[in-house]
Amino acid sequence: MKSTKPPGPLKQLRVIIAVIALLNVVVVGWLLLRNPKGEQNGSLSRAMDSLMADHSMESARYDLSDMASDLNVVLISMDALRWDRTGISGNEKGLTPSLDAFADEAVVFHAAVTAAPWTLPSHMSVWTARWPSVHGVTNKLRLLSQDQLVPTQLSPGIQTFPDLLILNGWTAGAFTGGAGVQASYGFGRNFDAYLDDRYFAGMDYSIPAALEWLEQNRDKRFFLFLHGYDSHGQYPLAESSLEEIAADYHGNLDGSVKEQARLRELGLKAIGNPGDSPDLTGVLDEEDTRFLREIYDRKVRDADQRVGSFLAKFRAMGLLDHSLVAIMSDHGDELMEHGSIDHGATLYEEQLHVVMMIRFPGYARRQDIQTPVRLLDLFPTVFDALGLEQPPGVDGKSLLPLLRGQEMDLPVFSETDYRLYVHQRMTRRGSLKLILDLADGEKQLFDLEKDSGEQKDISSSDPRSTYELEQNLRAWMDKTRTNPQDYLGIHQKPITLF
């Protein structure tokens, strides 16, 4: 069992404030009972307004610093899960009942944006709270010279948030689907256990190992990273489910992971010149697209069931209320919304809009945040809540001020240099979103409020916003040591490893 200790001063303060607030409610109730019906005078109304405007409790909300020494930290990453497939997004298909139930006890970020549209750079941005151009892990291989590629690894000089958790006494275990989150990229430094021996494994593989490790370490203060590719194109759907979906399909696809890889690469081959995009137009028809979308939705449902099963067992072990638990997706997936499938090579919303929720122990009630935030803000928020010092020089910000009712206007960017096929950057301001292709300088501007599917480029009809957002993007690239001129007209030999 975890050691107990007398409550700290902050916890005592919260108890005192709660008692005062309760007494206020009792007094107001007594005044209401004394007032005859219809005689609610102005003085009573003003008294109510004064009590409701008391933010003394709000300033201490989500402050877990006095209990940090007894709290576990859990990060669950559902790879390739699109935001719009979840019930919390408003989707009515019922694909994610477990996530929806978790949301009832968590802070839900409705407009979370990933820093990159594929696994490796996105997760490393979470690990470091730095933009991909800053942490440098933008592909699985990096150019050592014009013709020589070597494996990518995070610089030893960049400290990660898990590094600091371990230094502060947390025992760390990771149970993953491997591939883009393999320990060798810099994720697994000083972990007690790091499972990554299968390529594109699902949580049906990572969860049993995680539960076994938890049984052995439940009396310690731990950091658990649980990950799986259950919604990913390279994770095979159960044969029985595939047969059920195929019964109503009359096309030529078989729904296999081998076929998915072939289609992905075929789409990428359409990138023949700088500025081209992946394209499967004419290869997949509407029936093929419906078939692939049904497969994806079934994978999402299965992923949700597995996460729900894990959370139920985690709660039954008595660990949930002693843990800060975050659930995220690293990126989404395209299913022909912009002419191709998979992810990595474009910066549209089906790939960038991700799931991000945090359950704070002691505050297990839902709070919905509509303000745009960045996935790389996750760990800074967790560390702020725990009262821990974060690594120096990070780009992410704590979102606790936002959770406490303050306004935050965070700069939103994303980038991709996916396998050297493309080089694109994105920024947002309000509902306006600009995508800049560094290879040919092409700009696309979308108004997400009016055109959530990004089908109408308004850059020519709104040149002022296009110019302002481009200048904002170029200023950010300057800070991240990205020279756009280095990419203009570039044509590189693509990386084949995915």
What whole-number distance in Å separates Cα of residue 350 and Cα of residue 372? Answer: 16
Indicate the average pLDDT of the chain: 91
The one-letter code for the residue type at 4 is: T
For 48-183, list the strands marked E by DSSP: 72-78, 107-109, 112-113, 141-143, 149-151, 171-175
| DSSP-derived 3-state class of residue 408 | coil
What percent of the chain stands above pLDDT 90?
A: 85
Phi, psi of 368 (to 5 degrees): -105, 125
**Which tokens belong to 142?**
């990096």
Q: Is the pLDDT confidence value at 30 over 80?
A: no
DSSP 225: E
What whole-number distance in Å separates Cα of residue 183 and Cα of residue 397? Answer: 25
pLDDT tens, 250-272? Answer: 999 999 999 999 999 999 999 99
pLDDT tens, 384-434? Answer: 999 999 999 999 999 999 999 999 999 999 999 999 999 999 999 999 999
The whole-angstrom distance between residue 490's C-alpha and the CA centroid of its chain comes to: 31
Q: Are strands 72-78 and 222-228 parallel, antiparallel or unpaired?
A: parallel
DSSP 144: S
What whole-number distance in Å separates Cα of residue 256 and Cα of residue 180? Answer: 20
pLDDT tens, 295-343? Answer: 999 999 999 999 999 999 999 999 999 999 999 999 999 999 999 999 9
DSSP 435-451: EEETTT--EEEEETTT-
**Which tokens belong to 417?**
């240099």
Q: Is the pLDDT confidence value at 47 over 50?
A: no
Burial 170-187 (b: 16+ CB within 10 A, else e): bbbbbbbbbbbbbeebbb
Q: What is the mean pLDDT of residues 158-168?
A: 98
Q: Say if residues 79 and 307 touch (Cβ distance below 8 Å).
A: no
The one-letter code for the residue type at 367 is: Q
Q: Is the pLDDT confidence value at 379 over 60?
A: yes
Q: What is the mean pLDDT of residues 152-173?
A: 98
What whole-number distance in Å separates Cα of residue 443 and Cα of residue 438? Answer: 9
